Homo-oligomer: A and B are copies of this chain.
Amino acid sequence: MEQWKSITDCEAFAALKRCAQSPLDLTEPGNLNPERLLHFRCSGPEFDLLYGCQRVTSEVLDLLQTLTDECRVVEQFREMRRGTVMNCIHGWPSEERQVLHTACRDLFSGVPACPSATKQAGKELAKLKIFLSDVDNGVICNERGESFVNLIHVGIGGSDLGPRSIYEALHAYGKKGRQVYFISNVDPDDAAAVLDGLDLSRTLVLVVSKSGTTLETLSNEILVREALREAGLDAAKHCLAVTGESSPMDNPKRYLRSFHMYDYIGGRFSSTSMVGAVMLGFALGYDQVMEFLEGAAMMDEAAEEENIRSNLPLLLALLGIWNHNFLGMSSLAVLPYSQALHRFAAHLQQCDMESNGKSVQRNGEDLTLQSGPVVWGEPGTNGQHAFYQLLHQGTEKVAIEFIGFRLCQRGRDMEIHGTRSQQKLVANLLAQSLALAIGKNDENPNMRFPGNHANSLLMGERLTAKSMGALLALYEAKVVFQGFCWNVNSFDQEGVQLGKILAGRILSAMKGEGEEGTLEKAVLKAAEME
């Protein structure tokens, strides 16, 4: 524990600062040559990272390796996977928990890093397998003996964004006739829009909350149970739960089946636990869930490699730190050239920004450098027709991570003017990566492209359950590695507490009031209360 330190405490930090004063100029003729593109490439499970368009040299990479070694970044990752308490702030009251989301998928090597946690995961998976088989075979069915074809997933934050983005990503492989809907927001229109016209008699309702006390989720559960009641249905025969053992929701009388998650799994890292697996199992089948977990497990294994040049998530983490802390880019755009990944950035916003949007080190001292950046993104080519103008010619410096695949998911494609749409997609991806790097001069100042916009390209063969698992685990590990470098606790979220407290007070002020005037009164009341 005494060995946790920030990169600012490392000798290599100052050397990197010096390198950052004149970083590699990608617009210089010859700098971005074929050899560089072939050399700055890292292969990992399911993906290759092409990072020739990052502003790094071999010297910078060597220094980043030294930084990593001095901070024992990989060693900390290994300790995390083996059950060391990593969710803590030394010297202050904190959550004091293990961080073992990786144990949920550590099922394939025969020698799990943390056997006890993987055993618990295996037990829940076995329950899930039986449940899914019962749904398939009609052992579990509705009051009229009909099969369930819909599932409403009720959750928010970590119980929503990850599962939802993965569902969207893998929808192409869904079991015929099955549909999944999501309700998350306490905005009553969110639930109303889903419930409108849905045949509830053929619908399972999966309520997901680790604590069993999440305001939004409980409110939406009550709204949905009321709708079931109005439809003349017995909610206990339609509702499923994913929650912590002995949480207020852990009540078999109210749910057809309950699945457990454990307090060593943070919400934003919970997609490979039952939080994601139950819904995915319903939509895709159990085998696809196992493929998904295997992809994630492969990436976790690969993340234990010490050499940054052959550890994909670690390299991505360090390139991010180089761009953010040394080259001064304040935000990160993650741009998938895959429409199926259209919600992946929304998941990353939680996974990354909630983990590393911190200002305090793990020893309680203030940070002396920038921690997590703002993360955002939309799929290409759509973004090309939207915000890419700013990336190319704006005044903000944005780091860019492209994601792409050689092949499409559904295989429905046509050759038009000599190329297929998938080729057009990939051609645009490559073109943007190059254009951002090399820029272009022009006599007309409005047609100049300064270039030197650092970007990398994560390429996979095809977006499948396995590669989705690998992609998810890649970004999880990246975030964890960056947290270790900044020496922040990436696993708590104290920053959500103040808003909760004030919301409770304002709600008390509203209670029993009519609609008129409520807003002003509540604002003033809350302001006076401080």
Chain B residue numbers with a CB within 8 Å of A375 are 387
A 380-398 to B, binary, CB cutoff 8 A, 1 in contact else 0: 1111111111111111101
B394 touches A445 (CB 8 A): no
A349 contacts B378, CB within 8 Å? Answer: yes
1/0 per position for A223-239, CB-CB distance to B under 8 A?
A: 10010000000000000
Which of A339, A364, A390 has most chain B Cβ within 10 Å?
Answer: A390
B219 near A424: Cβ-Cβ < 8 Å: yes
Interface string of A417-457 (1 = CB under 8 A from B): 01111111111101110110011100011111110000000
How many Å lie between the Cα of A94 and that of B445 in the bound state? 11
Partner of A354, one of B386, B410, B510, B524: B386
Which residues of chain B are within 8 angstroms of A374 by Cβ–Cβ distance? 330-331, 374, 376, 387, 390, 396, 398
Cβ-neighbour of A186 out of B33, B360, B371, B428 (below 8 A): B428
- Residues of chain B within 8 A of A524, CB atoms compared: 34, 37
Tell me, rounded to whole Å, the shortest Cβ–Cβ distance linking A149 to chain B: 14
Question: In the bound complex, what is the Cα–Cα distance between A314 and B212 (angstroms)?
Answer: 45
Q: How far is A15 from B216 in the complex, measured between Cα atoms in Å?
A: 46
Q: A189-B412, A431-B499 are in contact. List 8 more A-B contacts (CB 8 A).
A: A185-B381, A186-B425, A357-B390, A426-B518, A427-B507, A431-B501, A434-B523, A438-B530
Q: Across the two chains, which residue of chain B brings its CB closest to A385?
A: B157
Q: Residues 169-211 of chain A: 1 if any B CB is under 8 Å from the residue's CB, otherwise 0?
A: 0011000000000001111111111011000000000000000
Complex A-B: 14 CB contacts under 8 Å: A32-B527, A156-B382, A158-B385, A185-B380, A185-B381, A185-B382, A187-B421, A188-B421, A189-B408, A219-B424, A357-B394, A392-B496, A423-B507, A426-B510
A527-B410 CB under 8 A given contacts A427-B507, A499-B392: no
